[in-house]
């Protein structure tokens, strides 16, 4: 079993707390590494290193910071297969899916190469007699990110690339379930020319998280994970005076209108619901066909497709998706399926009995399909995070829209239709942060921002795009007047432009 480490001050650092967790290879079920869990003192060491490095890094001009990211993008391209292999082995997703995840992370790093332009302030000369006014964006200092198991490469890059580009130093606390890829990313950033201490990786559990949330040197925290933890991180971090952005759970709906291209809709649903075993915050987990005829046609086409999904090890290029992340999570998803049956939903396809020949100890299950799910059922209300799709039948457009609007989560939503008026009205009225029109997973491109509404997001600013630059910087506004300008004498009233 491999012994993992922290990455502090540009070097591998052994854990000192004496506490460890084990990371598993989901396709075999074997424990493959021991992950050290940092104490508060170890987190403090990383913060001190980050604070010392940040002062010099902030003084580096934005163009030079951008060049480090340019080189990093090139290095990740060179190491993409190795990085994907580490990711797939620890997480369980297929190699092709891992490659796609890496690409989506790289695209954010590419966007951040434009930081010399993105950080520009504003200038107004002669705003008043002899008075010039200008603004500048400056880094916050030491910032941190707490990232989830389901995207161990993409989400860390979404966090540290803009933060570092803006002149901050960054402490990453990845999921202890698959920390190998984040550690490798930190080493690649060092190879790209990032000074030691600007990017640190600290493995840990709640003790490490609380240490980051409570330390006054850490100025901002970004989090992605479940809604209960997101709410805790947001409230606890804000109580300690930090800028916080937290992204939580989801229950993403796809509305299928009677005029939709049914073949296109079914292809989209199968990929969006079952890709990566449903372990995506943007996965479609609820299909909402409008009208009984639409619902019957949809379910009739979905059933054979779900029954014939190819589940396999991460290394199988023909697999549609691989195993789930841990045995405990596998059992949790199976329990939700059993609960759905108890609640009265009709289980059209049951993948719980799936076994992978030669990988009997792996964390596999096949796709599951529920029909006639009702909004009061827990399998509808709660995030399952597995290969389970629920069909909720709606009588009309307004009822379908209400389902998405009334749900406590508001991450992503999609509508499939040929009717431009229906699509436009849906996009305008739906109370969800990211909307797809004939697009099943509406994850924005890197130069737009990613973020949900309602209990899918806590905070004011989203991930990547312009919001990331705003989140990781503070604005300073300067009013400047030089000798030789208009002399007005002492004034004791509120200043105005007159």
Per-residue pLDDT tens digits of the chain, which is 498 residues long: 899 999 999 999 999 999 999 999 999 999 999 999 999 999 999 999 999 999 999 999 999 999 999 999 999 999 999 999 999 999 999 999 999 999 999 999 999 999 999 999 999 998 888 889 999 999 999 999 999 999 999 999 999 999 999 999 999 999 999 999 999 999 999 999 999 999 999 999 999 999 999 999 999 999 999 999 999 999 999 999 999 999 999 999 999 999 999 999 999 999 999 999 999 999 999 999 999 999 999 999 999 999 999 999 999 999 999 999 999 999 999 999 999 999 999 999 999 999 999 999 999 999 999 999 999 999 999 999 999 999 999 999 999 999 999 999 999 999 999 999 999 999 999 999 999 999 999 999 999 999 999 999 999 999 999 999 999 999 999 999 887 755 667 878 887 766
Residue 498: predicted pLDDT? 62
In a domain, 488, yes or no: no
- Same domain for 271 and 243? no
- Same domain for 232 and 283? no
- Same domain for 470 and 366? no
Are residues 468 and 448 in contact, defined by beta-carbon separation less than 8 angstroms?
Answer: no
- Same domain for 83 and 223? yes
The structure tokens listed for 394 are 């709606």
- Same domain for 36 and 162? yes
> Catalytic positions, please?
281
Residues 477 and 54: their CA atoms lie apart, in Å, by: 22
Instruction: Enumerate residues 6+ apart whose C-beta is below 8 A from 329.
Output: 363, 385, 386
- Same domain for 234 and 278? no
In a domain, 165, yes or no: yes
Residue 314: predicted pLDDT? 95
Within 10 angstroms of residue 339's Cβ, the number of other Cβ atoms is 15
User: Domain range for residue 413?
Assistant: 252-437
In a domain, 59, yes or no: yes
In a domain, 450, yes or no: no
Residue 1: predicted pLDDT? 86
- Same domain for 325 and 387? yes
Question: Could you tell me the CA-to-CA distances from 378 to 211, 407, 432 in Å, in that order?
Answer: 34, 12, 20
Task: Please tell me the total count of domains within the chain.
Answer: 2
- Same domain for 244 and 281? no
Are residues 68 and 170 in contact, defined by beta-carbon separation less than 8 angstroms?
Answer: no
In a domain, 442, yes or no: no
358: CATH: 3.40.309.10
In a domain, 497, yes or no: no
In a domain, 448, yes or no: no
- Same domain for 221 and 301? no
Q: Which domain-ending residue is among 407, 437, 467? A: 437
Residue 497: predicted pLDDT? 66
Residues 338 and 458: their CA atoms lie apart, in Å, by: 32
- Same domain for 97 and 175? yes
Q: DSSP letters of 209-254?
A: HHHHHH-TTEEEEEEES-HHHHHHHHHHHHHTT-EEEEE----EEE
- Same domain for 338 and 191? no
Q: Is 122 exposed, middle or buried (0-12, 13-18, 19+ CB in 10 A)?
A: exposed
Are residues 87 and 150 in contact, defined by beta-carbon separation less than 8 angstroms?
Answer: no
474: CATH: 3.40.605.10
Question: Could you tell me the CA-to-CA distances from 62 to 34, 48, 463 in Å, in that order?
Answer: 38, 23, 20
In a domain, 94, yes or no: yes
Residues 289 and 395: their CA atoms lie apart, in Å, by: 8
- Same domain for 260 and 369? yes
Residue 488: predicted pLDDT? 65
pTM of the model: 0.94
Going by C-alpha positions, the residue among 384, 387, 354, 381 that lies closest to residue 368 is 387
């Amino acid at each position: 079993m491999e012994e993992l480490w922290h990455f502090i001050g540009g070097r591998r650092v052994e854990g000192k707390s004496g506490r460890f967790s084990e990371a598993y290879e989901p396709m075999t079920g074997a424990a493959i590494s021991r992950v050290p869990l940092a104490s508060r003192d170890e987190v403090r060491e990383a913060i001190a290193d980050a604070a010392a490095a940040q002062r010099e890094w902030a003084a580096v001009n934005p163009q030079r910071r951008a060049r480090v990211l340019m080189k990093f993008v090139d290095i990740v391209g060179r190491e993409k297969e190795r990085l994907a292999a580490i990711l797939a082995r620890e997480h369980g997703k297929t190699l092709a899916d891992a490659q796609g995840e890496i690409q989506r992370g790289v695209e954010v790093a590419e966007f951040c190469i434009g930081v010399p332009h993105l950080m520009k302030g504003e200038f107004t000369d002669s705003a008043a007699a002899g008075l010039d006014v200008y603004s500048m964006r400056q880094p916050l200092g030491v910032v941190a990110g707490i990232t989830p198991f389901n995207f161990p490469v993409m989400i860390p890059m979404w966090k540290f690339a803009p933060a570092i580009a803006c002149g901050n130093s960054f402490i990453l606390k990845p999921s202890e379930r698959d920390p190998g890829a984040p550690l490798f990313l930190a080493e690649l950033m060092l190879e790209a020319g990032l000074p030691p201490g600007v990017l640190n990786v600290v493995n840990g559990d709640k003790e490490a998280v609380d240490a980051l949330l409570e330390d006054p040197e850490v100025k901002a925290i970004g989090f992605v994970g479940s809604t209960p933890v997101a709410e805790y991180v947001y409230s606890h971090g804000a109580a300690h005076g930090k800028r916080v952005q937290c992204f939580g759970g989801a229950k993403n709906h796809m509305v299928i209108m009677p005029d939709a291209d049914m073949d296109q809709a079914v292809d989209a649903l199968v990929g969006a619901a079952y890709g990566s075993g449903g372990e995506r915050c943007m996965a479609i987990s609820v299909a909402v066909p409008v009208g009984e005829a639409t619902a019957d046609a949809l379910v009739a086409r979905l059933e054979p497709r779900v029954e014939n999904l190819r589940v396999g090890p991460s290394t199988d290029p023909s697999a549609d998706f691989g195993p789930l992340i841990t045995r405990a999570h596998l059992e949790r998803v199976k329990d939700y399926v059993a609960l759905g049956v108890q609640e009265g939903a009709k289980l059209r396809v049951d993948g719980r009995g799936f076994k992978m020949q030669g990988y009997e100890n792996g964390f596999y299950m096949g796709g599951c399909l529920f029909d006639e799910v009702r909004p009061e059922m827990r399998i509808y209300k709660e995030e399952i995070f597995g290969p389970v799709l629920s069909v909720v039948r709606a009588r009309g457009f307004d009822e379908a829209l209400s389902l998405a609007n009334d749900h406590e989560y508001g991450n992503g939503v999609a509508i499939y239709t040929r009717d431009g008026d229906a699509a436009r009205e849906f996009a305008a009225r739906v109370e969800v942060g990211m909307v797809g029109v004939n697009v099943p997973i509406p994850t924005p491109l890197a130069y737009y921002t990613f973020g949900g509404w309602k209990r899918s997001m806590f905070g004011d600013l989203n991930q990547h795009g312009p919001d990331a630059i705003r989140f990781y910087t503070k604005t300073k506004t300067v009013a400047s007047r030089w000798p030789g300008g208009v002399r007005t004498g002492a004034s004791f009233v509120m200043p105005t432009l007159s």
